[in-house]
Structure 1
Amino acid sequence: MNSPLAPLIDAVTALNQAWPGGPVEGCDPGRLVEVNRLLGQARRLLDAAAVQVAAEVARQSRPELGADSLAKRQGHRTAAVMLATTLGTTIAEAAKLVEVGDATAPRLLLTGEQAPARHPHVGAAVTAGRLGRDAAAMIIRLLDSLSDRVPFDALDDAERLLTEQAVGVDVGILQKILLRAEAHLDPDGLEPKEEEQRAKTGLSIRQDGTGMIILNGAFDPVRGAPIVSVIDAMVTAELGRQRDAGTKGNGLPPKPIPVLNAEALIAICEHYAGCSKKHESLPGATVIVRVDLADLQAGTGVGVIDGVDQPVSIATVRQMAASGGVIPCVLGADSEILDWGRDKRFFTPAQKRAITERDGGCIGCGAPPGRCKVHHLTWWSHGGRTDLDNGALLCESCHHLIHDHGWDIRIDGPGINSDVWLIPPRHVDPARTPRPAARRRHDYHHAA
């Protein structure tokens, strides 16, 4: 019988073989990529072993055992303290190991028989080294929070889908997917959640001992969306100016994004306080909320605000549609010409809205639409047309990455329902296997 640790041993053995003979500095790029991949695999498999051990340590340290608790016999107050001490981590991280282990281990019934784990799909992915501890804990917490409002079969399907989607994405992107999943699984829970978020909205302003003014705020998605939209647009415009100055040879070192965010807020307040002139419209500064026409008419489903991860209820979509400065993008309407061929060089606002609905943001990294521009896939100077199937949303970083390093983009299908693919260069993937664009990687792909 193979040891449960055999996959971990194999991964460490492969890592040992791939590791350069000398220092990592100056390592061949191809080897460095492979070492990094194997490190990730070994780390996830080590997580798989750790969550099993943590769950059993917690079981043997449960409070009802009193002085016979394993943790207390080892000189620790609780299992979490024992694990944190021996693993060199925080109590919170140790508790997360216990949480994942408890949720993915077979359950022991009072009869002495074993029952399936509460979250078998997550457990299988963790054991196989496809999913790490943090991602597993995030999925488990979402599903458990919905267990009293969503049928078991729907949660089981969601667990399987989320486990598949979580592989290969960072926890920030996974959080976005989970917000979309929660809205789909429990749309009736959106309005109470929105009320709670509105109640928590606030901004504190104070001065510290050095004289600095400290702002600390939290905003619900609807009222926070204009703040995000305007500041993002101003920062994006400033980054463009800095890049142009640098190209001309007279640029200064780039400022960090937090500094640019602060300067944008200062500019907005200075304008409101003393300027009699109205700022010119900023590209990307409009708040757009997107919703299916059928959902809007039926009062079901959810809407999505550009640049905001949290979906909103249909009731909120209707309220936003009546507000100034908000454009409702109702899908299913076809009132504007969206393909221009060679008649226009630059994509129109209507085209950008349509391409944004298809792409959702930067097709490379998923940056919000306000930080992106529509770029011709076949350049205008090379005969490219200003049509939907020749345009894609890209932030500046991904635009340069794609054009400078040999990536291609492919669009399959018509209009806003087409699929967008990124095709890597041969030095990244010799087979040049198409990869789905960011929207398909970041959205929750529930069954129809």
Structure 2
Amino acid sequence: MDDRAVETMSGDELLSDSDVIETAIEELLARRHQVIRRLDEIKYAEEIGAHDTARLLEKRYRLDPTEARRRVRLALALPNYPTVAAALPAPGNDLPDNAVALSSAQADAIVSALEKLPKRANIPVEELDAAADAMVQAARHMNPSDLRSLGEQVRNILDTDGPEPREAAARAREEVWVKKADDGVKFGGYLAGENAEKLQTVLQAGAKPHKTDDGEQDPRSRGKRQADALIDTLDIALASGDLPTRGGIKPHIAVTINLNDLLEAGRHATGDLTYGDGLSAAGIRRLACDAGIIPIVLGSDSQPLDVGREFRYVTNGLRNALNQRDKGCVICHAPPIYCDAHHLISWQDGGVTSLTNL
């Protein structure tokens, strides 16, 4: 290594010096693996009261616990993968000219990937060695992150029963969150496997750029095109009518607006929604263009009038009136979709199925 001040060196000299430094570091790291493995073999940490080798390294060198455990795990696993160990540039380990010289990070990526193979898979030793050799060869052109991705593919090939449990675990983590925002909602989440594929298929199909009527390029951003594709999908789902029921009624958008405002389009007129804030009369008319309309006549005190007949079970008309009147649970304020309708005076005690008794 050149001991001149770096300010006096050319670019070629600096790069050459960097090569020497990296080689020296990798040789020291390979030596460190050997030292850690031997410390663990002789149980020196227990001898001096340090619990285990990982705890000894953590305390002595002020390491994060995860880093200390990673070092010990790699050092102990390396002997199980002789092809990987032989490719490390340890002092005295002269590699042939055509051999692959692994960095410690690459070796860690390969060993960690193969160590994740479950014992129940009973992979033959020769297949494991072949996989390790293939990954060492791939390391000529792959960084540690690439090798970890390759390792997942290798595991799927060697352990044919492996992907399904992992897919099941991924599906168990699926979630979608929705929270209110100004004039709308924000949402996000996570989908796995085939469900992720479904979403991407729908968005890709609907988000294709379209030229404007005058032949110009689509002015929408990619995000806006994907939002439009999702909206189209929601429109199709709602229009199909083939949706699960909650509370006895299929999902639908409920809007309450004064009839005159709807027809005359008062400039400042708005309608009430179940979940969101007020919606303009123009927006409501857009919804009403191809919607089924269920009128509910309201009295002067905004109480629903003249809906349904007296049956034991709550009719759709009565249910709609309940949704309009109570806006959901009167105790916990859950929205109507999560609520059941109940008689105040039960049917068997003579209570009637009318709005005033629900």
Question: Scaled by the length of structure 1, what TM-score is found?
Answer: 0.39
Structure with the higher fraction of residues in strand conformation: 1
Query: Which one has more relative contact order, counting CA pairs under 8 Å at least 6 apart?
Result: 1
**TM-score, normalised by the number of residues in structure 2:** 0.47
Specify the structure having the higher radius of gyration (Cα).
2
